[in-house]
Structure 1
Amino acid sequence: MTARRILRLTGNDTEDFLQGLITNDIKRASEGLLYAAILTPQGKFLADFFVTQDGDGFLMDVSETIADGLIKRLTMYKLRADVQIADSGLSLQRGTGPAPDGGLTDPRHPDMGWRAYTDGAASDDDTDWDAIRITHCIPETNIELTPDSYILENQFEALNGVDFRKGCYVGQEVTARMKHKTELRKGLRRVAVEGNAPVGTDITVNGKTIGALFTQAGGYGLAYLRFDRVQDEMQAGDAIVRPL
């Protein structure tokens, strides 16, 4: 299981602070688990995470690989706001069987099971998470989701990770324009894969790069593709890639 860090955000200004930053409506975090991201002013991906209300504060569940950068970004934005950011000391447990007390449904898709935050050790069941992610076209931090990503090209609307009615947040203008005024020409798609290729291998047609192949499991994969150049058979290193 990819290591996660569980942050706790507290202070009188925390809800308003998060509402002006994240892609989703923080008020819904009182109902369960919320999936969201923070973007650059240019609308590009910085970090994705889960948020839930925890007493008078919020828990933020983020990949360990980007946690320090996220804390730095949040600290930069908060200025003099009454917001405190600290490690909670909690660990993530997750699975796809019956949820334990305190387990929260993963908002991206029901097949992604539940997540719980406890004082015990981090734990996971034997679920093939990559296979589920591929089936439902769910990107992962630092694999499909990179600093060059746009969230709408990475299925955030389908994954309940963006709210177009909540009002302004950093990067909102670009995201709204992509939603309402343009047709996406590139994005993440599920593909069939014959063979194997390293994550990030270029996908080519007649020697020209049209995308990249990422997570693979059980003969399928996630690929970032230019839609107008997709062919019935494409190459990714030694692997053959076909659209679904």
Structure 2
Amino acid sequence: MPAAFLPSRSLIRLTGKDAQDFLQGLITTDIDSLPEGEARPGALLTPQGKILFDFLVWREGDGFVIETETAQRETLMRRLTMYKLRAAVDIAAGPEDGVTVFWGDDSGQGSVKDAAFAKAGIPLARAPSKLDDGPEEAYHALRVEAGISISGHDYALQDAFPHDVLLDQTSGLSFRKGCYVGQEVVSRMQHRGTARRRVVIVSGEAALPASGTEIVAGGKPVGALGSVAGNKGLAIVRIDRVGDALARGVPLSAGDVIVSLALPAWSGLSFPVEAEEAET
């Protein structure tokens, strides 16, 4: 069973009688419908609807676990505490160092199933602490294959909307529950169909250049590379501009490498069929 240890991931635990209601009214994930044994992606947004923090969340007994990048854990904890007010919620850093992921038909003991990878047809489980020595690079290559993005690798915090990173497709963004921070903006984007930036899987005719390299069509940028694994990568692109380029037969490139772009098949999304005038 393939596995990888992710030393850059850390945990936050939320306990107390108000923990569920607290999270339900704050983050993008529908906590009330979250089943035992499942880790769902989620985000805490700015009032303008952009991702301030991204993470995974799952149930643990009567409380919840949030898994996030170690570099943002303390700041996220401070922000959660700021919103806590008088709610009966205890917020504490988990003592575990890192997270281990397993993929394939079996999973490790004490693990939870990752809902985002499940959408992509890849059984993947997550467990606290170091339970295997597998390389982190193998996990990131799997993410690229699946079309699953994370902050710090594929986008900068406060620079992307949940739709941009496919949270609306991975059970990480609810349009059925009540209000939460940034909800009006993302709901309006959903109902008006105005999401124009999306994560795509990039395939190069040769090894792709470094993360951050612009992807261009006819000399005009459509996005930039995020995670890179050989000749495969992820990027957040303007799908209207890509659709226009495809309709006109304009080649796409990243640096000197000719590339093709594909929206993850599991998302059910497609590039616009008709050529449209791209915004400048």
Pairwise same-fold verdict (TM > 0.5): yes
The structure-2 alpha-carbon separation of the partners of 1:122 and 1:72, relative to structure 1 and needing over 3 Å to count, comes to: farther
For 1:151 and 1:129, how far apart are their aligned partners in 2? 22
Is the contact made by 1:112 and 1:129 (CA closer than 8 Å) also made in structure 2? no
Q: Secondary structure of the residue that 2:237 maps to in structure 1?
A: strand
Counterparts of 1:14-33 in structure 2 under 5 Å? 14-32=19-37, 33=39
For residue 254 of structure 2, what is the aligned residue in structure 1?
A: 236
For residue 274 of structure 2, what is the aligned residue in structure 1?
A: none
For residue 104 of structure 1, what is the aligned residue in structure 2?
A: 112
For 1:131 and 1:223, how far apart are their aligned partners in 2? 14
For residue 222 of structure 1, what is the aligned residue in structure 2?
A: 234
For residue 277 of structure 2, what is the aligned residue in structure 1?
A: none
For residue 12 of structure 1, what is the aligned residue in structure 2?
A: 17
For 2:241 and 2:58, how far apart are their aligned partners in 1? 41
The counterpart of 2:42, out of the listed 23, 36, 41, is: 36
TM-score when normalising by structure 2:
0.79
Q: Secondary structure of the residue that 2:80 maps to in structure 1?
A: helix
Give 1:124 deviation, angstroms: 5.2
For 2:62 and 2:261, how far apart are their aligned partners in 1? 47
Cα deviation code 1:60-104 (max 9, x no counterpart): 111112112211211111122222211121342211142122221
The counterpart of 1:197, out of the listed 191, 196, 209, is: 209
The structure-2 alpha-carbon separation of the partners of 1:56 and 1:229, relative to structure 1 and needing over 3 Å to count, comes to: closer
Is the contact made by 1:95 and 1:124 (CA closer than 8 Å) also made in structure 2? no
For residue 140 of structure 1, what is the aligned residue in structure 2?
A: 150
Mapped pair 1:164 → 2:175? yes
Mapped pair 1:84 → 2:90? yes
For residue 63 of structure 2, what is the aligned residue in structure 1?
A: 57
For 2:41 and 2:261, how far apart are their aligned partners in 1? 28
Is the contact made by 1:195 and 1:240 (CA closer than 8 Å) also made in structure 2? no
Is the contact made by 1:95 and 1:125 (CA closer than 8 Å) also made in structure 2? no
Give 1:16 deviation, angstroms: 1.1
Q: Secondary structure of the residue that 1:73 maps to in structure 2?
A: helix
The counterpart of 1:94, out of the listed 85, 92, 101, is: 101
For 2:212 and 2:123, how far apart are their aligned partners in 1? 24
For 2:133 and 2:67, how far apart are their aligned partners in 1? 15
Give 1:43 deviation, angstroms: 0.5
For residue 141 of structure 2, what is the aligned residue in structure 1?
A: 131
Q: Secondary structure of the residue that 1:128 maps to in structure 2?
A: helix
Give 1:2 deviation, angstroms: 4.8
For 2:80 and 2:132, how far apart are their aligned partners in 1? 28
Give 1:228 deviation, angstroms: 2.7
Which consecutive unaligned segments of at least 5 residues does structure 1 have? none
**RMSD, aligned α-carbons:** 2.0
**Amino acid in structure 1 at the alignment position of 2:141:** A
Counterparts of 1:202-213 in structure 2 under 5 Å? 202-213=214-225
For 1:122 and 1:60, how far apart are their aligned partners in 2? 19
For 2:62 and 2:133, how far apart are their aligned partners in 1? 28
Larger CA deviation: 81-90 vs 165-174: 81-90
For 2:154 and 2:64, how far apart are their aligned partners in 1? 27
Show structure 1 runs of 4+ deviating over 6 A: none
For 1:191 and 1:51, how far apart are their aligned partners in 2? 28
Q: Secondary structure of the residue that 1:108 maps to in structure 2?
A: helix
Q: Secondary structure of the residue that 1:175 maps to in structure 2?
A: helix
For 2:100 and 2:255, how far apart are their aligned partners in 1? 36
